[in-house]
């Protein structure tokens, strides 16, 4: 089934596919979570992961931006079955 990008809260999301891994950070994130991840957005070494109903992650240039995005996500939710306690910020450079 083909899915089109759709908004979730303030995020615009894209389905993960092989063509999505175009930068070193996206490649690293896709290697780490690609087999489980359904959605990917952004660019940078800091990932906000939402392993709720459909595992998703977004990439951010700074930890501060990732923490703000996580806070926003915790407020708006990531979709059905959302559990904000599962949302995390991960430094991909470690």
29: left (phi over 0), alpha (psi -120 to 50) or beta: alpha
**Domain parsing of the chain, residue ranges:** 17-91
Q: Quick check: 10 and 58 in contact, CB under 8 A?
A: no
Question: Alpha-carbon distance 77 to 50, whole Å?
Answer: 9
pLDDT digits (tens, 9 = 90+) for 61-86: 999 999 999 999 999 888 778 889 99
pLDDT digits (tens, 9 = 90+) for 1-19: 333 333 444 444 444 444 4
Q: What pLDDT is recorded for position 22?
A: 57
User: Partners of 87 in the beta sheet?
Assistant: none
Q: Quick check: 50 and 26 in contact, CB under 8 A?
A: no
HSE on the CB side for 20, CA within 13 Å? 23
Q: What pLDDT is recorded for position 36?
A: 72
For strand 56-60 and strand 88-91, is the pairing parallel, antiparallel, or unpaired?
A: unpaired
As given in the structure block, the two tokens for residue 29 are: 């994130």
């Amino acid at each position: 089934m083909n899915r089109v990008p759709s908004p979730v809260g303030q995020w615009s999301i894209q389905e993960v596919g092989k063509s999505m891994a175009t930068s070193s950070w996206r490649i690293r994130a896709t290697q780490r979570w690609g087999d489980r991840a359904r959605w990917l957005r952004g660019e940078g070494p800091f990932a906000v992961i939402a392993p709720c109903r459909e595992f998703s992650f977004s990439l951010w240039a700074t930890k501060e931006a990732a923490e703000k995005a996580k806070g926003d996500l915790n407020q708006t939710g990531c979709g059905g079955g959302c559990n904000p306690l599962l949302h995390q910020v991960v430094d991909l450079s470690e």
